[in-house]
Structures are given as structure tokens and as C-alpha cells.
């Protein structure tokens, strides 16, 4: 699995525009070799992913609470599609609910990230995802490595 030799195709589905801008800034500081696409709701994301002409993303960051279609509903549909079996999915949410963590783990998310409260923490988490966890996202998935927080 590649890490930084080729462009990383990243999707962020989040309805908070300010959060998306901070995310983009953090990713650009971590790695210049990426394609980043934003979606402001789950329906837009799924319409995009259902287009057979797209390049598969390497990782999808899903907010749980989005309009039109929740992150959990998106996760369920993505994992039901064989085309995305190798795509890493990171839940990226303000929720710290044990039930949300359990549900998304059971549905096949690779990691659960509680949105950090500041930019430095966000950048640190994203560095961890891109440099450590992400390259091994299909091996040894377990509850101990599922929740990431700073």
C-alpha cells in the first residue's frame, strides 16, 4: 500500500465549512501530495461514490451528523459496495458517544476520531492517520486502536 509516493485521494464529508477549511490547511501542511474533495452532506457523497467514472478514494473522513444522509447511513452503503472494500473510512465527529463508536466499528469503519478542539491537535491526529494507522488500515483492526484522541 502506498503512503506518499503517489497522490492520496481523500474525501471529507462534513457540513461545517470552517471545519473543512481547517482540515484542508492541516492536510496541506502534512503532505503536499494529495487530492482532497469535500462534500457538505451524505447524499452528495453517495451520489459521487456511485458514479462509475471516479477514481476510488484512499480514505474517506465521515462526519456522523450531516443533513440529508447521516455518516452512519453513508458508512453502511459504502461498506456494502465491493468497489470500496479497500477504502479506509475514518469517522470524524464531535460525538464521543460509546454507542456511536460501537455502531461505526460494527459497520466497518477503520478508525473513530473525536474532532479535536484546536488546530494543533487536529494536525497531530491527521499526521498519525496518514503516517501510521492508515497504511495498515486493513490489518489488526481492533477496539484498542479504533478510537483516536489527543
Helices (H), the chain: 17-30, 42-49, 71-79, 98-107, 119-128, 143-146
Q: How distant is the alpha carbon of residue 94 from its chain centre?
A: 13
Whether 128 shows a pLDDT value over 90: the answer reads no
Least confident among 67-71, 87-91, 117-121, 128-132: 128-132
Q: Are 49 and 84 in contact (CB under 8 A)?
A: yes
Question: What gap in Å lies between CA 1 and CA 74, rounded to an integer?
Answer: 24
Collapsing DSSP to helix, strand or coil, 57 comes out as coil
Predicted confidence at residue 2, as pLDDT, reads: 40
Name which of 28, 43, 34 is nearest 11 in CA terms: 34
Predicted confidence at residue 135, as pLDDT, reads: 56
| Residues in the chain, total | 150
Q: What is the mean pLDDT of residues 75-99?
A: 89
Predicted confidence at residue 138, as pLDDT, reads: 46
Question: What is the average pLDDT value for the chain, to the nearest integer?
Answer: 82
Predicted confidence at residue 35, as pLDDT, reads: 87
Least confident among 14-18, 29-33, 64-68, 122-126: 29-33
Predicted confidence at residue 132, as pLDDT, reads: 63
Amino acid at each position: 500500500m502506498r503512503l506518499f509516493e503517489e497522490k492520496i485521494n481523500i474525501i471529507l464529508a462534513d457540513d461545517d465549512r470552517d471545519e473543512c477549511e481547517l482540515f484542508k490547511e492541516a492536510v496541506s501542511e502534512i503532505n503536499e501530495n494529495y487530492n482532497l474533495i469535500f462534500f457538505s452532506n451524505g447524499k452528495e457523497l453517495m451520489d459521487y461514490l456511485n458514479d462509475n467514472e471516479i477514481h476510488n478514494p484512499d480514505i474517506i473522513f465521515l462526519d456522523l451528523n450531516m443533513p440529508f444522509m447521516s455518516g452512519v447511513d453513508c458508512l453502511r452503503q459504502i461498506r456494502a459496495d465491493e468497489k470500496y472494500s479497500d477504502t479506509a473510512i475514518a469517522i470524524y465527529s464531535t460525538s464521543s458517544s460509546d454507542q456511536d463508536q460501537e455502531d461505526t466499528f460494527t459497520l466497518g469503519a477503520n478508525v473513530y476520531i473525536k474532532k479535536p478542539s484546536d488546530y494543533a491537535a487536529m494536525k497531530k491526529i491527521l499526521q498519525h492517520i496518514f503516517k501510521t494507522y492508515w497504511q495498515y488500515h486493513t490489518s489488526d483492526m481492533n477496539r484498542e486502536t479504533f478510537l483516536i484522541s489527543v
